[in-house]
Amino acid sequence: MPLTDQSPLRIVLYEGGDAQPLPADERFAALTALLDKGFAVTRLANQGAVAPADPSPILILGHFAGGHPSEPSGSREGVPIRFQNVAALDPNRIVELVEAARLETHAAKPGEWKPWFPVIDYDRCTNCMQCLSFCLFGVYGVDAQQKIEVQSAESCKTNCPACSRVCPEAAIVFPKYKSGPINGDVVSDADLAREKMKIDISALLGGDIYSLLRDRSEKARSRFSKERDSNKALQERQKCLAKLAQAAEIPPEVLMALPSPEEIQRRAKEAKAKAQAALARQT
Amino acid sequence: MTAPPRILYCHCAYAQIVPGEVKAAVLRKLSDSGVSFEAVADLCELSARHDNSLKRLAQGGAVKIAACYPRAVKWLFTAAHAPLPPKGAEVLNMRVQSAEEIIAALLNPQLSPNLPAGKPNAADAPVALARPLAETPEAVAPTT
């Protein structure tokens, strides 16, 4: 099921009204345990406001007076609501109970995938389609107005920031990247100059990154067939690709998992055609 | 009287880019503060899901967000079709700011909006530089 079709379980740690506040250490331990397991928690106390409810199922955790929830589990305006008394419960036990409620409500399972994907800074993006043309994995597409957008975040290869390297405007952000401006830090003139330099480096490596990949891969394949030594061939392929991986910061595992040269060529052509068609419709 | 800004804390659970001690200290202080807040495991994951909770957060008035770079947060919300109000959001960056600085800003009822607003241009220059020459003190009151 696509990520965007999955509904999460909303967890509310309720400490207002007739519920008693949890001891500070218990509250912090419970919050940390739930967040570490990928759950979102709304802490509802007597002060401050939180966002209103939405159609997601709700699980209300708390230390309820008399050991019982103040309201029976059920549904309100079609939203399933459950209560769970967590007074004096171990954080791991709370996580187990929350996970059980998630399963019962068929809510999305968090943490199934490391959320690594590009985010477009439309203040900087010029809709040049370089990213669409470059990405082999179908992450990018265009909307009805021919504007570039991320259409399949989950297709992005974890820890690979290569498309941000080909963006001439430094408009592609990977929030979990280690350094700026790719991580979302402010873009300076020096960054833009550096980005251009990196594109030049890839040109020096062979002009077309995919041609280079194909050549390297074919050479490696040829050696493999002659020597029939898979370990040696693999070592050679890794050595050849290391230089490329360093230039574009493509993780070696992404390069090693690339499809056959023919498939790379097909996908590259497809991506390029999509980008050219989108550019043509803009004019 | 306007309501105080709501608070959102991102735990960035799936990467080690936010210092663990900063995350823990911010969460601990929030947890002990007695205020209501939203804590999410990972804003990126919610953005990828186009999660409804981001719309609830973006559309409910002023909000303070403890996460990472303001530019990243702004576009994560936009990617989820939940753009943050430009003048109604303040992002605290746990990658570079101290826990004390962040918690003081989160619990301060005053909002200091800081979402980036487009490419820097002349209008973003410091006031002294952006002001036309005729308006500079020297031009208005020439020395005799």
In a domain, B130, yes or no: yes
In a domain, B95, yes or no: yes
Q: What is the pTM of this model?
A: 0.81
Partners of residue A11 on adjacent β-strands: A41, A59
Interface of A with B in 258-277 (CB under 8 A): none
pLDDT for residue A235 is more than 60: no
pLDDT band at A75 (very low <50, low <70, confident <90, very high): low
A236-267, pLDDT tens digit by residue?
545 555 655 666 677 777 776 777 767 777 77
Q: Say whether A119 and B14 touch across the interface (CB within 8 A).
A: no
Among A113, A119, A150, most B C-beta atoms within 10 A, so best to mutate, is A119
- Tokens 């739930």 belong to A34
- Residues of A in Cβ contact (< 8 Å) with B37: 42-43, 48, 50
Q: Is ipTM strictly over 0.95? A: no
Q: Which domain holds residue B39?
A: 6-140
Give the nearest chain B residue to A35 (CA atoms).
B41
Within its chain, how far is the Cα of A177 from the centroid? 11
Q: Which of A28, A48, A51 sits opposite B35 (nearest CB)?
A: A48
- Nearest Cα residue to B70 out of B16, B112, B13: B112
In a domain, B133, yes or no: yes
Torsion of CA A104, A117, A131, A148, to 10 degrees: 50
- Nearest Cα residue to A168 out of A131, A123, A214, A222: A131
pLDDT band at A18 (very low <50, low <70, confident <90, very high): confident
What phi, psi does A276 have (nearest 5°)? Answer: -65, -40
In a domain, B119, yes or no: yes
Q: A202 CA to chain B: closest CA distance, Å? A: 26
pLDDT for residue B113 is more than 50: yes
pLDDT for residue B31 is more than 70: yes
The number of distinct structural domains making up chain B is 1
- Residues of B in Cβ contact (< 8 Å) with A56: 52-53
Q: Say whether B42 and A115 touch across the interface (CB within 8 A).
A: yes
Q: Say whether A114 and B17 touch across the interface (CB within 8 A).
A: no
In a domain, B1, yes or no: no
A115-155, pLDDT tens digit by residue?
999 999 999 999 988 888 888 888 999 998 889 999 999 99
Q: Which of A40, A55, A121 sits opposite B40 (nearest CB)?
A: A40
- Residues of A in Cβ contact (< 8 Å) with B117: 123
pLDDT band at A228 (very low <50, low <70, confident <90, very high): very low
Give the nearest chain B residue to A114 (CA atoms).
B14
Q: B134 CA to chain A: closest CA distance, Å? A: 29
* Structure tokens given for B65: 């967000």
Q: Are A91 and A32 in contact (CB under 8 A)?
A: yes
